[in-house]
Amino acid sequence: MNSKITWYGHAALLIETGGYRVLVDPYLKGNPAASISPEQVQADFILVTHGHGDHIGDTIEIAQRTGALVICNAEISKWLSSRGIKTHAQHLGGGYRHPFGYLKLTLAVHGSGLPDGSYGGNPAGLLLTTLEGKKIYMAGDTGLFGDMRLIGEEGIDLAVLPIGDNYTMGPADALKALKMLQPEHVVPIHYSTFDVIRQDAAVWAKQVEQETNVTVHLLCPGESLTL
């Protein structure tokens, strides 16, 4: 059995593990890079890293249609619950064994305000140990921080990192992050969706492969990687 990860564009991902479909940061409507619509996407669970519109995205609509359980921080959980959505609240540093694997919320250096201006708590990264035993670290929106070294000690199979710059780590800091995380594989995301975060990922990939042992996978929206 394998774990499979599909990039839907920007920060939206689908992780398939043990027959479960785990959707992450489903910003699809209005996302110029989206490879699937909110009406088509399937999910048993939805993970939301933080409250910004390009991450919480179409969570409410998709959860209503699919009945997916939404997993996020306590503040976003409260906001979604008040809108009738089923949630499971966790918080930074805390892990929980869900049917699809063990999920820990990690630090992220960023903001988390919700689209209507409500307080969205602290932003998170996600560290998922899948049912196939693969460790996937999704950094979320974050700047570089030294405690990524501690996350690296967990033994990461795949890191999913933002490289867009402006709102998050750019290519140079994402390269530094990889040196601390030391994953087997990396998928860059959160770039070139908009002009302000345009990056040449192929140039970055070349630099990563020159300076580290990490294998870079440049996915196009809609493409998958099997671990």
> Which positions lie near Mn ion, rule CB under 5 A?
54, 141
Cα 18 to the chain's mean position, in Å? 19
Quote the least distance from Cβ 18 to Mn ion, whole Å: 29
> Could you tell me if 8 and 36 are in contact, meaning their C-beta atoms sit under 8 angstroms apart?
yes
Contacted entry of Mn ion, Ni ion, none for residue 25, CB cut-off 5 to 8 Å set by kind = none
- Compare residues 52 and 135 and give the one whose CB is closer to Mn ion: 52
Residue 145 Cβ vs Mn ion, minimum distance, rounded to whole Å: 17
Q: Calculate the CA dihedral of residues 22, 26, 31, 32 and round it to 10 degrees.
A: 0
Contacts of 116 (CB under 8 A, 6+ apart): none
Is residue 52 near Ni ion by the rule CB under 5 A?
Answer: yes
Residue number with CB closer to Mn ion (60 or 131)? 60
With binding defined as CB under 5 A, does residue 141 bind Ni ion?
Answer: yes
3-state secondary structure 5-53: EEEEECCEEEEEECCEEEEECCCCCCCCCCCCCCCCCCCCEEECCCCCH
Select 54 or 75, whichever has its Cβ closest to Mn ion.
Answer: 54
- Tell me which of Ni ion, Mn ion, none is bound by residue 16, counting a contact when its beta carbon lies within the kind-specific cut-off of 5 to 8 angstroms: none
Nearer to Mn ion, 10 or 135 (CB): 10
Which does residue 157 bind out of Ni ion, Mn ion, none, counting CB within 5 to 8 angstroms by kind? none
Q: How far is the CB of 54 from Mn ion (least distance, A)?
A: 4
Closest C-alpha among 158, 127, 120, 123 to residue 142: 123
List the beta strands (DSSP E) in the chain.
Answer: 4-9, 12-17, 20-24, 45-47, 69-73, 87-90, 95-98, 101-107, 124-130, 135-138, 158-162, 185-189, 215-216, 224-226
Query: Considering the complex, what minimum distance in angstroms separates the CB of residue 110 from Mn ion?
Result: 8
Question: 16 or 75: whose CB is closer to Ni ion?
Answer: 75
10 binds Ni ion (CB under 5 A): no
Alpha-carbon gap, residue 191 to 120, rounded angstroms: 23
Decide which of Mn ion, Ni ion, none touches 10; Cβ closer than 5 to 8 Å per partner kind. Answer: none
Give least dist CB 192 to Mn ion, A: 13
Binding site for Ni ion (CB under 5 A): 52, 141
